[in-house]
Structure 1
Amino acid sequence: MADIEVESTCEEGYTVESIINGEWELIVDALSENGPSPNEILAADYASCYIPALRVAADKYGHEDIGSVDVEVAAGLDEDDDLEYIDFHVEVEASLADEEQDIVELAEDICHVHSALQDELHAEITIESGV
């Protein structure tokens, strides 16, 4: 059995409704008319994964309570609307002192989305049509 199960349905157009692990509903629209686009979801998901990873990394360096963490994400698209870059501007309430860059790098290693964004990770696709 898979660790994550998603059932996605598109009745018409470009809006896809997904049920995640039988519990959570997510609506994604390629045109950003009825919900965020897949690229917008990816940018938000990346930040949502990175923030807890940053907290864990800071804790490993002895910064147990870093307070509020805000991430501003800037993502650029190429002429085919493919993600070309993602930049984070991170603001942390507490000072991370001299370990700041080490914490950032450890958080990258901890963040599951950061780890997943590599050329080797592509969906294994099988298709059935006319069903």
Structure 2
Amino acid sequence: MSDIQTSTVSEEGFASTSQVGDFELTIDATNEDGPDPNQVLVADYASCFLPAFRVGGQQTGHDDLGKVQIDADADLNDDDDLERISFAIHVEANLDDGEFDEIVDRAEGICHVHAALREELHADIEVHGGAF
């Protein structure tokens, strides 16, 4: 038996509903009835990276980062394939650049979505401390 099972159905058009455990997610290639697949992938990446960033903070002795927000940007090529992703991470804690770099390095090793993406799609990351 596999570790992850989903079921995705489309009755008509380009929207589909995915069942993931007890949750439903509507994804629409036309971006009318839900986010499109590329938007979902970027949001999924950020949603994975944020807790990985918190764990990286804990592993480096920074248990209380406070509020953390990731603003993600992505560019598409002419074929609408993802070409570039960047994260601006805003952190309530005001650490120095070296401390943030160490946390980011650890988060990159923890985030499963980061590991699953081809290397040229790994997010370019900037961290801004004292943000809130």
Which TM-score bucket, shorter chain as reference? 0.7 to 0.9
Matches within 5 A, 1:1-131: 1-21=1-21, 23-97=22-96, 98-118=98-118
Q: Distance in 1 between matches of 2:7 and 2:50?
A: 27
Q: 5+ residue gaps in structure 1?
A: 120-131
Q: Which amino acid in the other structure matches residue 61 of structure 1?
A: T
Number of equivalences: 118
Secondary structure of the structure 2 residue equivalent to 1:17: strand
CA radius of gyration, larger in = 1
Distance in 2 between residues matched to 1:70 and 1:100, nearest whole Å: 14
Q: Distance in 1 between matches of 2:29 and 2:105?
A: 32
Superposition CA RMSD, Å: 1.1
Relative contact order higher in (CA < 8 Å, ≥ 6 apart)? 2
Measure, in 1, the Cα distance between the counterparts of 2:11 and 2:72: 31
SS at match of 2:115: helix
TM-score (norm 1): 0.87
TM-score, normalization by structure 2: 0.86
What are the Cα deviations for residues 37-87 of structure 1, in whole angstroms up to 9, with x where unaligned?
A: 000000101000000000000100000010000111000011111001000
